[in-house]
Chain A
Amino acid sequence: SQQGEEDPQALSIQEGENATMNCSYKTSINNLQWYRQNSGRGLVHLILIRSNEREKHSGRLRVTLDTSKKSSSLLITASRAADTASYFCASHTNAGKSTFGDGTTLTVKP
């Protein structure tokens, strides 16, 4: 099975609502990063959280990390139609190796 896993696989919400997606990983990490990918496009880096951090904010994004549960969550507040995309997490080890999950597809309806 994939080392990194996101849930839900798909999420559909109305504009203005909050979107929460979760990520699990299996090995010890140096950091965990979240990315956005619009359909047919490249990946855009959103936020990095280090293994010794528990929460981080960037604009409308809030990321949490629970190393005891090997899990992370990404919260997007006040969603906009432009937030419609696939969101991926990737865990990064101290050796530099990274593992991606299969992503959450977010649809924000106007």
Chain B
Amino acid sequence: DAGITQSPRHKVTETGTPVTLRCHQTENHRYMYWYRQDPGHGLRLIHYSYGVKDTDKGEVSDGYSVSRSKTEDFLLTLESATSSQTSVYFCAIVRDTDYEQYFGPGTRLTVT
């Protein structure tokens, strides 16, 4: 929905390595989001963006940084991955027209 893709879809990495996840949208909506979901829980907001180079922290932002240099791309970086960052990461947009939020397919990240 809303032309959202995430890459990679699956990644296994070692503790201490940097990791970047990419979210791409095709409809140029202003708001983009990164969430993580852990087993048995809802989604927790990591960072969100309300425009190019405009970002803000969510409730679990420690250990994560983001960048948005183009409207269509929102990157999430784990500077030095830890095992506690093993999770499923979802990107989302909020449509400018009606404020409905739509999600990408998710990235399953495992940090060993």
Contacts and interface: CB of A to CB of B under 8 A. Distances in A.
Interface of A: 2-4, 30-31, 33, 35, 42-43, 45, 48, 88, 90, 92, 95-103
B1 interface: yes
Interface of B: 1, 31, 33, 35, 40-45, 48, 50, 56, 58-59, 90, 92, 94, 98-106
Nearest to B57: A97
Contacts of A33: 100-101
A42 B33 CA distance: 15
A37 B95 CA distance: 20
Given A42-B105, A88-B43, A102-B41, A96 B100 contact: no
Contacts of B105: 42
Given A4-B42, A43-B90, A45-B1, A98 B103 contact: no
A102 B105 CA distance: 19
A100 B43 contact: yes
Contacts of B100: 33, 45, 48
14 contacts: A30-B99, A43-B90, A43-B103, A45-B102, A45-B103, A48-B98, A95-B56, A97-B45, A97-B56, A98-B48, A100-B42, A100-B43, A100-B45, A101-B42
Given A43-B90, A101-B42, A102-B41, A90 B59 contact: no
A97 B1 contact: no
A34 to B, nearest CB: 11
A104 to B, nearest CB: 10
Nearest to B45: A98
A95 B55 CA distance: 11
Contacts of A97: 45, 48, 56, 58
A102 B100 CA distance: 20
Given A42-B104, A43-B90, A92-B101, A98 B42 contact: no
Given A3-B59, A30-B99, A43-B90, 8 more contacts: A33-B101, A45-B1, A45-B100, A48-B99, A48-B100, A90-B101, A100-B44, A102-B40
